[in-house]
Amino acid sequence: MKKYFLYFFLAGFFLLHAPLFAQDITFTAADNPNDDGGAILLEWIAPASIPEMIITRSIDKKEYIEIARVTPLLQTYIDDENIEDGQEYYYKLAVLNEDGDIVQSFTASAIAKAQWFNTDKIPLLIMTLLLGSAILYFIVSARKGKRLYIRKISGLDTIEEAVGRATEMGKPLLFVPGIMDLDDMQTIAGLNILGHLAEKVAQYDSTIHVPVCRSMVLSTAKEIVKEAYLRAGRPDAFKPDSVFYLTDDQFGYVAGVDGIIMREKPAANFYMGAFYAESLILAETGFESGAIQIAGTAMPSQIPFFVAACDYTLIGEELFAASAYLSNEPTQLGSLKGQDVGKAIIIITLLVGIVLEIFGIHFLKDFLATH
């Protein structure tokens, strides 16, 4: 009887403690989520006291090759070295003791595959759909003839005044489309404004200088100014050399533009696009020359410089709204109204987030922050 008690006790001991040992270290392998395949995510939970662990990989469970040496604190490892989609890979996590001997090993396997939807980007998709729908709704409303109120943007209303002043003074206008290339949305926004400005310049029979610092911007700006003259019915007045390339170098470009400002003394300077440290050098030189200055950028660190040195500054979104505002087309103005709805959504989300955080509910913050 004693013997059975002893067996029962031992069986009970192992049954109770075996899961505890197993729970000490867990090791899993799975397809790396939200990628285009070719990667397997390995995860483990292990006591921090373990000095080192070795991960090995095999495709036939026979021959294992070492792929990494990790520590328990690392917790994850993405294996993306020569991983083929659809092939099953077997992994071993070998736990080493302080002498470097393997004392325990755990196995796991996984198959890599590509995903058709990135679930990490669900919040972005929701925001994109909401914003897109709002913008499209107001564009359709405007097309149907609904009157939309758009607040006045003084800097843009002054464009005609600036061109008129330049014509009266017999001086040219200067347009600087920033120092970035066409892959920057601010440059495109600046060039859109250039189209409207050049049309006014053509109507008033004034002249415009457009020095650029990127070759791609050169060809685009030249085409935009040429088309603007054509639209104004004065294609003969277009001078191809009014749009010219200076240099790709930031301060070389500034030196060139400053030289033009001091020599030609333009009646009005327009700085529309992406600017960095050169913003104040340009704007202050323009201020010294006595020109009307209108600037627009979405670079938060450069806006104070333009505000200090220019007569009018388009701040952030105003730069992107400028073209729609100047065109006065209902459909374009409708899209601006849609952006306002987007702002309202963001403000509401922020307020809800603040309230939830105050009450210790972190759902919204986690949902937005982790994605």
Partner 1 sequence: MRRQIPMLITFFVGALIIISEFIPHKPFGTLSTSLEGWFLIISGFAIILGQLSLFKVNIIKISRKAPNWSYYIIALVSFSIMVICGILWGTQKQPGLIPISDKILNFFGYKPFDYIFKYLFENLSATMFSLLAFFMASASYRAFRARSPESTLLLVAAVLVMLGRTTIGSSLTGWIPDSLGFLHLPNIASFIMKYPNTAGQRAILICAGLGVIGSSLRIILGIERSYLGGK
Which of the residues 68 through 127 are near partner 1 (CB under 8 A)?
114-118, 121, 124-125
Beta bridge partners of 111: 88
Look-up of token digits 């189209």: 195
CB of 10 to partner 1, least distance (A): 52
In 10 A of CB 90, how many CB atoms?
A: 17
Question: Which of 48, 42, 304, 276 is CA-nearest to residue 180?
Answer: 276
Closer CB to partner 1, 59 or 255, in the complex: 255
Closer CB to partner 1, 118 or 141, in the complex: 118
Q: Which of 92, 171, 196, 200 binds partner 1 (CB under 8 A)?
A: 196
Cβ-proximal residues to 358 (8 Å cutoff; 6+ apart), any chain? none
Token code pair at residue 118: 């990135």
Residue 201 within binding range of partner 1, rule CB under 8 A: no
What is the SS3 assignment for 365?
helix
Tell me the number of residues near partner 1 by CB under 8 A. Answer: 92
Closer CB to partner 1, 79 or 318, in the complex: 318
Closer CB to partner 1, 109 or 327, in the complex: 327
| Binding letters toward partner 1, positions 326-345, x by CB under 8 A | -x-x-xx--xx-xx--xx--
Q: Which of 67, 148, 169, 246 binds partner 1 (CB under 8 A)?
A: 246
CB of 270 to partner 1, least distance (A): 15
Q: Which of 93, 191, 210, 291 binds partner 1 (CB under 8 A)?
A: 191
Long-range CB contacts (< 8 A, 24+ apart) of 34-37? 34/115, 34/118, 34/119, 34/120, 34/121, 35/114, 35/115, 36/114, 36/115, 37/83, 37/85, 37/112, 37/113, 37/114
CB of 133 to partner 1, least distance (A): 11
**Residues in 291-320 at the binding interface with partner 1, rule: CB under 8 A:** 298, 300-301, 303-305, 307-309, 315-320
> Is 43 buried (19+), middle (13-18) or exposed (0-12) by CB count in 10 A?
middle
Closer CB to partner 1, 164 or 316, in the complex: 316
**Residues in 138-157 at the binding interface with partner 1, rule: CB under 8 A:** 139
Dihedral over alpha carbons 266, 170, 228, 180 (to 10 degrees): -10
Q: Which of 102, 216, 352, 361 binds partner 1 (CB under 8 A)?
A: 216
Question: Which of 94, 101, 90, 99 is CA-nearest to residue 72?
Answer: 94
Token code pair at residue 184: 């920057």
Question: Which of 134, 128, 90 is CA-nearest to residue 112?
Answer: 90
CB of 132 to partner 1, least distance (A): 6
Closer CB to partner 1, 61 or 121, in the complex: 121
**Residues in 171-190 at the binding interface with partner 1, rule: CB under 8 A:** 181-183, 185, 188-189
DSSP letter string, 135-175: HHHHHHHHHTT--------HHHHTHHHHHHHHHHHT--EEE
**Residues in 21-60 at the binding interface with partner 1, rule: CB under 8 A:** 34-37
